[in-house]
């Protein structure tokens, strides 16, 4: 189980090694993604809060990266955070996501990216429920849900 100390360690010392890497040019990403998906995942944008049905969807299933199809989160780790974005307590495995310091907008946060293709997913915070205490606050537009 990943804890906040692990998140800080990865942010400061380097991310776990991913199973593979996917690299594409901006033009290739633009051909694969909608303009909103591109803005959020490739340009570190944020979708409007409460703009996706994924916020209130709690059916079993797996969530994968919209850009490269890497499995990122299991619906069993999803919870209602009230923030307007899908929230999870853990990634599906330690090396599925990467962590970067985000000092934008006059604050310090930890950005979460797909560790395979570097797609911006959202941020992680130490205010989630037990036992991890983590809240992965993820842009729904960066995810695809696979029915179980």
Q: Which residues are catalytic?
A: 137
* Contact indicator for 39, 46 with CB cutoff of 8 Å: no
Burial per residue of 102-128, b for 16 or more beta-carbon CB atoms within 10 angstroms, e otherwise: beeeeeebbbbbbbbbbbbbbbbbeeb
Taking the C-alpha atoms of residue 128 and residue 12, their distance in angstroms, rounded to an integer, is 21
Nearest partner of 102 among 62, 30, 46, 26, judged by Cα:
46
Question: For the chain, where are the alpha helices, taking DSSP H only?
Answer: 4-13, 26-32, 35-41
Nearest partner of 53 among 86, 78, 90, judged by Cα:
86
């Amino acid at each position: 189980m990943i804890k906040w100390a692990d998140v800080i360690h990865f942010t400061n010392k380097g991310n776990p090694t991913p199973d593979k890497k996917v690299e594409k040019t901006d033009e290739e990403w633009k051909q694969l993604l909608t303009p909103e998906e591109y803005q959020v995942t490739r340009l570190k944008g944020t979708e409007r809060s409460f703009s996706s049905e994924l916020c209130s969807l709690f059916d079993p299933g797996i969530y994968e990266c919209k850009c490269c199809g890497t499995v990122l989160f299991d619906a069993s780790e999803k919870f209602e955070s009230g923030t307007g974005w899908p929230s999870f307590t853990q990634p599906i495995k330690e090396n599925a996501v990467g962590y970067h310091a985000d000092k934008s907008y006059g604050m310090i946060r930890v950005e979460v990216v797909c560790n395979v293709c570097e797609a911006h997913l959202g941020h992680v915070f130490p205010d989630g429920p037990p036992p991890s205490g983590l809240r992965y606050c993820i842009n729904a537009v960066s995810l695809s849900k696979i029915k179980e």
